[in-house]
């Protein structure tokens, strides 16, 4: 049916590649392109003889727009799946605009020299994408991604108004290392060491990093400490879901992770300010990334489950209503299926599904959109089919 250009060859890309190859009817051809071509070739080699999808590979620097344009014009994809890093988002969007090809990603743009992420930079492309008649689908991983689909599904089928959303991201997995991150360490540490924030009555309320802590008993995982973080989907959901009074995001962290993080922060290793080391400029956080375990290598050693979802509180037919939608995913099951742990899996599966929505035309409107702005039903159906079945609870325990 179609062809996708996948940019990036890291942990998340690995899952997208495997899932596209399981879905050869839609993804007849894929091209894997990244900075290090040998990583793309490795995926191609691993899948050779196991899929009907025709795989090609290419080397590309996604910060170089002319290089991207040349590759897109030559390969002529129906969609470009950006699973490189958030720094590349705008460059890849520029190239898609020039070539009039659909774009999608899993994380919003973040400038390399400021640890700040927000949608304004990407939303500024709306008119240009509309005029070009192409779609940019933003934030199509799990969170952001499935959390947005869960929200629009809850809105469509369960509520007249949603007043409160709590997004709970629990990773009950154990990789056996004292400290490692489950996705790109640089992006992960920038995210969790930033100030927390949530939206209440239309205003952002800022907190100190990890200032707000709650405990929650997650189904199939158990009791965990979770902390309020700033997270990108809060910004779009507060606009796109009718009636929102408050929206928060919580993520679980173990004590060992937090103690190591604090120590690394205290000695300056998480800083993104350049320093001179032996006559050469280095960025401490990038150096730290180089010494930490590669998230893609955690697959074989991670055991346990993730449980990620949204608790909604609102009104239906004049009556108050609570509703919890979540997915439970097992690290080892993911590893058996696609050779990676559940964090990459829960991001890569929705990315494949989003690309499928664009290729099949189930989601078809020109412009720049967050995922909750599309019809959630075909996506919810695809989650059940492609490895992330969801569960619902009409009487959930609420977070205070």
Q: Choose, by CB under 6 A, the member of 5, 6, 12, 229 that binds ligand NDP.
A: 12
Using CA atoms, how far residue 343 sits from 86, 158, 175, 251, 329, in Å, is 17, 28, 12, 13, 9
Q: Is the peptide bond before 144 cis (omega within 30 degrees of 0)?
A: yes
Q: Is 395 helix (H, G, I), strand (E, B) or coil?
A: coil
Q: What are phi and psi of 157, to 5 degrees?
A: -110, -15
Round to whole Å and give the CA distance between 258 and 39.
Answer: 32
Nearest to ligand NDP of 217, 297 (CB atom): 297
62 lies in the binding site for ligand NDP (CB under 6 A): yes
88 lies in the binding site for ligand NDP (CB under 6 A): yes
183 lies in the binding site for ligand NDP (CB under 6 A): yes
236 lies in the binding site for ligand NDP (CB under 6 A): no
In the stretch 113-152, what mask flags binding to ligand NDP with x, by CB under 6 A? ----------------------------xxxxx-------
299 lies in the binding site for ligand NDP (CB under 6 A): no
86 lies in the binding site for ligand NDP (CB under 6 A): yes
Beta-ladder partners of 324: 311, 393
Nearest to ligand NDP of 112, 128 (CB atom): 112
Report yes or no: 108 and 118 within 8 Å, Cβ to Cβ: yes
Round to whole Å and give the CA distance between 190 and 277.
Answer: 22
Number of residues that bind ligand NDP (CB under 6 A): 33
Report yes or no: 312 and 324 within 8 Å, Cβ to Cβ: yes
Helices (H), 241-366: 255-266, 284-291, 331-338, 342-359
Round to whole Å and give the CA distance between 222 and 304.
Answer: 11
Distance, first Cα to last Cα, the chain: 48
Find the shortest distance in angstroms from Cβ 140 to ligand NDP. Answer: 7
In the stretch 305-344, what mask flags binding to ligand NDP with x, by CB under 6 A? --------------------------------------x-
Nearest to ligand NDP of 159, 238 (CB atom): 238
Q: Which stretch binds ligand NDP (CB under 6 A): 181-189, 248-256, 268-276, 384-392?
A: 181-189
Q: Choose, by CB under 6 A, the member of 187, 199, 349, 368 that binds ligand NDP.
A: 187
In the stretch 338-377, what mask flags binding to ligand NDP with x, by CB under 6 A? -----x---x------------------------------
Find the shortest distance in angstroms from Cβ 218 to ligand NDP. Answer: 17
SS3 helix, strand, coil % of the chain, rounded to 5? 40, 30, 35
Residues that bind ligand NDP (CB under 6 A): 8-13, 34-36, 39, 60-63, 83-86, 88, 106-107, 141-145, 183-184, 187, 295-296, 343, 347
């Amino acid at each position: 049916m179609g062809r996708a250009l996948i940019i990036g060859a890291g942990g998340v890309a690995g899952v997208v590649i495997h899932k596209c190859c399981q879905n050869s009817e839609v993804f007849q051809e894929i091209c894997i392109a990244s900075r290090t071509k040998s990583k793309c070739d490795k995926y191609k080699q691993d899948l050779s003889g196991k899929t009907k999808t025709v795989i090609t590979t290419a080397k590309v620097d996604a910060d170089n727009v002319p290089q991207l344009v040349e590759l897109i014009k030559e390969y002529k994809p129906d969609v470009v799946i950006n699973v490189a890093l958030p720094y590349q988002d705008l460059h890849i969007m520029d190239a898609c605009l020039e070539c009039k090809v659909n774009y999608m990603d899993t994380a919003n743009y973040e400038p390399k020299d400021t640890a700040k992420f927000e949608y304004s930079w990407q939303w500024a492309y709306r008119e240009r994408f509309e005029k070009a008649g192409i779609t940019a689908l933003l934030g199509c991983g799990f969170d952001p991604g499935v959390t947005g689909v869960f929200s629009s599904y809850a809105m469509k089928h369960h509520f007249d108004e949603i007043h409160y959303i709590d997004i709970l991201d629990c990773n009950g997995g154990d990789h056996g290392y004292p400290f490692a991150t489950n996705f790109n360490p640089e992006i992960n540490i920038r995210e969790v060491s930033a100030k927390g924030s949530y939206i209440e009555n239309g205003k952002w309320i800022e907190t100190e990093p990890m200032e707000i802590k709650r405990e929650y008993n997650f189904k199939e995982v158990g009791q965990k400490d979770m902390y309020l973080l700033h997270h990108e989907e809060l910004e779009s959901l507060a606009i796109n879901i009718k009636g929102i009074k408050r929206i928060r995001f919580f993520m679980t962290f173990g004590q060992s992770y937090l103690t190591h993080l604090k120590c690394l922060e205290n000695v300056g290793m998480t800083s993104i300010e350049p320093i001179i080391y032996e006559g050469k400029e280095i960025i401490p956080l990038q150096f730290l990334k180089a010494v930490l375990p590669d998230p893609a290598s955690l697959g074989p050693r991670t055991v346990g489950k993730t449980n990620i979802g949204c608790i909604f509180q609102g009104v239906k037919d004049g009556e108050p209503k609570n509703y919890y939608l979540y997915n439970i995913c097992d690290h080892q099951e993911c590893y058996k299926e696609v050779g990676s742990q559940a964090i990459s899996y829960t991001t890569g599966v929705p990315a494949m599904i989003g690309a499928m929505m664009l290729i099949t035309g189930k989601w078809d409107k020109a412009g720049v959109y967050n995922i909750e702005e599309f019809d959630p039903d075909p996506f919810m159906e695809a989650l059940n089919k492609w490895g992330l079945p969801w569960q619902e609870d009409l009487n959930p325990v609420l977070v205070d």
